[in-house]
Amino acid sequence: MSSSPFGGGALGPGGFLQDVWDQKPTANASLTWVKNNHTFKFGGELIVEGFPDKGFSRANGQFGISPSSTGDPAEQSANAAFPFTTGFGYASFLMGQVDNLNINPPVQSKLGNHAFGFYAQDSWKVTKKLTLDYGLRYDYETYLKEQYGRMPSGSFNTINPTIGRVGATLFEGYGGGRCNCNFSKNYPHAWGPRIGFAYQVLPRTVIRGGIGVQLLLCPKQRLPFV
């Protein structure tokens, strides 16, 4: 907001209420099977995450009210060099003098991704003093994207057809108006083996150790413009 000692500052554009929430249905299951000196465990989980945005608030419009609408017209001249200007933004608002307006159509967008994983392991009591644990886990997670590819991303090596220079916005997906591409790739090889042991060297002393591989899934992607 700009101001002057004789008038008032401009009004707007203001913010808007954005109705966004997190949908996260989750399911998990596990099974334990004990047979002789083996204890087998199996399990899995599923997470389906979404961030819907009704987007109706953007359709209400953003208004900008200028104090020049109620100021001295002589001050609007291109050659005018007044150290102070008149006009009052709130007065322009009361008169309904809108300087600029930005309005978007309502769009119900939804960002989301999903992830699932499963594992199998065995705790094998080899002897009374030695126990071995070994297992394998697999995880798969998709990258965050809009469900219908309606959020664009910037590309600095694509020719903009409007100006004929590099620098354009792309929409994910295939078909008309799309880049015929995906913004990222999902990593399909997140296998995590692990093995451990426990050995009782003395009645009150047990040595334990183990090693495993844990992968943090973080796909490299071009972030969409929200």
Tell me: pLDDT of 93 over 60: yes
Q: Which of 95, 96, 71 is nearest to 85 (CA)?
A: 71
Taking only the tens place, the pLDDT of each residue in 133-176 is 999 999 999 988 888 888 888 888 888 888 889 888 888 888 88
Pick the more confident residue, 100 or 106. 100
> pLDDT value at position 139?
93
> pLDDT value at position 55?
58
> pLDDT value at position 35?
95
| Confidence at 5, pLDDT banded by 50, 70, 90 | very low
> pLDDT value at position 142?
92
| Confidence at 225, pLDDT banded by 50, 70, 90 | very low
Residues 153, 48: Cα–Cα separation, whole Å: 23
